[in-house]
Structure 1
């Protein structure tokens, strides 16, 4: 690679990756499975996935679906994952590719096209801690307690498979979108239907010097401190936020923690290009027409709805909270539709075995509804270890799970994606699980691999 281009990408905290892709003849539909942190309250999804794949080579053998994290046999599953990673490389199921970006075009049930760019990011330029001013930044709070089981999966792995999606704030669409005009001249690496209603995905090798230089130039302009300060109306000494984590926040934090452990035993020279210093991600423009921010709802397990609601009102104190029930979901929806479009209060609709209702908080402490709710749920879980909360994509799943005896579901509103970068820059990280980039079936599917051990 040209030295100037190499130094340019290094300054931007990125690297052109050397990838591994399934060899010719591998059934790609069975190879690619959805992100491991999806369908965590629906084991039947993963059972159906395993049944469909049967004995075919698949990324299912290389990941730990989080629906099984609390089951027995975790250590054996991790050993099997590590063995499969080595085997897939040794027997040629995974074939090495020459260095290059991959331009990704994804079609889902909800959008005709969502464009992305596969690249590797420098974990030295990423900091998920509160108040971070790093080039690569978390958008939501990172729960440190969630990292140990994920570190255990990654620490001895020889490969990484990304479901991490980073965002850029590129309203002029200068970085990724221009690649669509060059697909006829780029090598097509894959083009197939994704399983379980995941849609269709195509990938093209973007490695020509001209395209690489154009990507570098466009990213440099986004990262210019003076342009950044003017764009967000902040002082020149404010740290540039170039890449914001959209999906996979805890996965990227896990990669960071594993790298910190590895680099402690390396010399400065050894650290420079060690593969674990980088993490493979898909880069997406927050202004992509195919990218939709969906709310992440909550379902609480092992609770009695009446006591939970009374406890919530008590927790809110002088925030003046109250709740009411409705005769049907239609009546609840009608009530919500008649609320004024703006106001200082928060309304939190819910469903339980007793029916539908809404909590009203007149003077909330938090800016977003998700913050108001999450603050209470965190306190509730700390008081009662039997209470569990799951984060749900899709109102239909909340309807189904929340209406079961002993459960309770809360519906949350979507966030305007155009506010994301400015909010993180000015206010810091959002409450965890504030938004989802699409529905569960639209999440990133595992496909490309990369070596993280020399």
Structure 2
């Protein structure tokens, strides 16, 4: 069963860092070289010095790892960072808006005992890549710090956990900061052992599904395995996580649309005729495309090109059973699985091993359409987002979703609190 514990978090000293917005960053895997330069311009104490960037060629990673170690040691020595004296959990709320609608995503940061992914109560929902894991493992070995949480989902239909937590969030937060994407991040601290014990008890039989941070979780587990025999209280037995209720009204997943390129002799009419084997096809006005797609909810896709736009509505799920007999019904019902299996692989003939030659991924319908209109891509498939409960249901079946199935928004900001695993 999952074991939740508080920890003595390390945070920026707000007496030394007057504007926290100058030092917090997006998660490492979102940070480009350009973003890194901008972060370092804002402050010499930017958290980017510790989490580094999305792994890319052209970096002297060995030197960057050593610099991260040096920074964290010096900033602790000089009081830029302070460590809480009491073990705590940290309620973490994010306030944001999408298309004029306001949301608050409510979670809390704690540590959870590591277990092999997919073998117990902590489940993945997507596959990982070896290069990012190697990069994060090297950083962990050298710094012996857990800088960024894994984003986990749990199921709590009655919202008992967050109701308990919110009773301790009546005072102003420790941190209240707006980032450069207009998202407000609020952090509190709970030290009351009775409250922490109650929360741990409420989640003692829970299943946790990783929303974001698969590489970070596997890195933590690999690091623990590498250490060998350590005592049960060694801090590396645990991973810092942010837990969010899957029923939380602020839990938002954005769709990731597919841009198609490099198809020789592509003809729209030929494509439409082939698509009619699986879909009802309806030509629609481009201006109405987005709203029509959203109104359909499931099993419907939009085809968008410079010339025309169409709605493609699945006739029947039976072809998915025939083409993917080894998969569960939950997997075969995913829009992203239907899109790739029927449209990309069968109708267009793009096999999975060739997908990188023909498919790119884009957030936002307007941005996707612009890239087609500019001539950069031949056309696009627009889709609705995966629903949170689908992520849970597929993970519970011990299956991993297709690439780019989920885009949880917003990302967890980095630099609010971190965890010492040096022991």
Give the TM-score taking structure 2 as reference length: 0.78
TM-fit CA distance, 1:288: 1.3
TM-fit CA distance, 1:21: 0.2
| 2:20 corresponds to which of 18, 28, 31 | 28
Distance 1:360 1:305, change over 3 A: farther
Question: Match of 1:249?
Answer: 214
Question: Match of 1:93?
Answer: 80
TM-fit CA distance, 1:56: 4.0
Question: Match of 1:102?
Answer: 90
Distance 1:175 1:65, change over 3 A: same
Does 2:153 align with 1:159? no
- Matched length: 394
Unmatched segments (≥5 aa) in structure 1: 1-10, 224-240
Q: Spell out the pairing of 1:71-90 with structure 2 (5 A cutoff).
A: 71-75=57-61, 76-90=63-77
Per-residue CA distance 1:6-50 (angstroms, 9 max, x = gap)? xxxxx532221221000123121112112233376xx76x26843
After superposition, the CA RMSD in angstroms is: 3.7
Per-residue CA distance 1:76-130 (angstroms, 9 max, x = gap)? 4444334333332233211111211111222112434221111111222x41xxx
Give 3-state SS (helix, strand or coil) of 1:175's partner.
helix
Question: Match of 1:450?
Answer: 419
Task: Determine if contact 1:86/1:158 at 8 Å carries over to the other structure.
Answer: no
Distance 1:151 1:400, change over 3 A: farther
Question: Match of 2:241?
Answer: 281
| 2:6 corresponds to which of 9, 16, 25 | 16
Q: Spell out the pairing of 1:24-423 with structure 2 (5 A cutoff).
A: 24-26=15-17, 27-38=19-30, 46=35, 49-50=38-39, 53-66=41-54, 69-75=55-61, 76-98=63-85, 99-110=87-98, 111-124=102-115, 126-127=116-117, 132-144=118-130, 147-184=133-170, 188-197=173-182, 199-220=183-204, 223=205, 242-260=207-225, 262-263=226-227, 266-267=228-229, 270-299=230-259, 303-305=261-263, 320=277, 329-330=286-287, 332-333=289-290, 336=293, 346-351=299-304, 356=309, 363-364=319-320, 365=323, 366-374=332-340, 376=344, 380=351, 382-383=353-354, 389-390=360-361, 392-407=362-377, 409-423=380-394
Distance 1:434 1:388, change over 3 A: closer
Separation (CA, whole Å) in 2 of partners of 1:318 and 1:190:
52
Unmatched segments (≥5 aa) in structure 2: 324-331
Distance 1:179 1:359, change over 3 A: same
Give 3-state SS (helix, strand or coil) of 2:202's partner.
helix
TM-fit CA distance, 1:307: 5.5
Give 3-state SS (helix, strand or coil) of 2:174's partner.
strand
Give 3-state SS (helix, strand or coil) of 1:184's partner.
coil
Give 3-state SS (helix, strand or coil) of 2:43's partner.
coil
Give 3-state SS (helix, strand or coil) of 1:115's partner.
strand
Give 3-state SS (helix, strand or coil) of 1:166's partner.
strand
Task: Determine if contact 2:16/2:80 at 8 Å carries over to the other structure.
Answer: no
TM-fit CA distance, 1:154: 3.6
Separation (CA, whole Å) in 2 of partners of 1:254 and 1:35:
15
Distance 1:78 1:145, change over 3 A: closer
Task: Determine if contact 1:326/1:332 at 8 Å carries over to the other structure.
Answer: no
Task: Determine if contact 1:327/1:356 at 8 Å carries over to the other structure.
Answer: yes
Give 3-state SS (helix, strand or coil) of 2:210's partner.
strand
Separation (CA, whole Å) in 2 of partners of 1:183 and 1:58:
28
Task: Determine if contact 1:64/1:153 at 8 Å carries over to the other structure.
Answer: no
Separation (CA, whole Å) in 1 of partners of 2:38 and 2:310:
35
Distance 1:63 1:215, change over 3 A: same
Distance 1:410 1:17, change over 3 A: farther
Per-residue CA distance 1:128-155 (angstroms, 9 max, x = gap)? xxxx341111123334565334434444
Separation (CA, whole Å) in 2 of partners of 1:59 and 1:309:
49
Task: Determine if contact 1:352/1:404 at 8 Å carries over to the other structure.
Answer: no
Per-residue CA distance 1:204-253 (angstroms, 9 max, x = gap)? 11111221222123223xx1xxxxxxxxxxxxxxxxx5211112222222
Question: Match of 2:329?
Answer: none
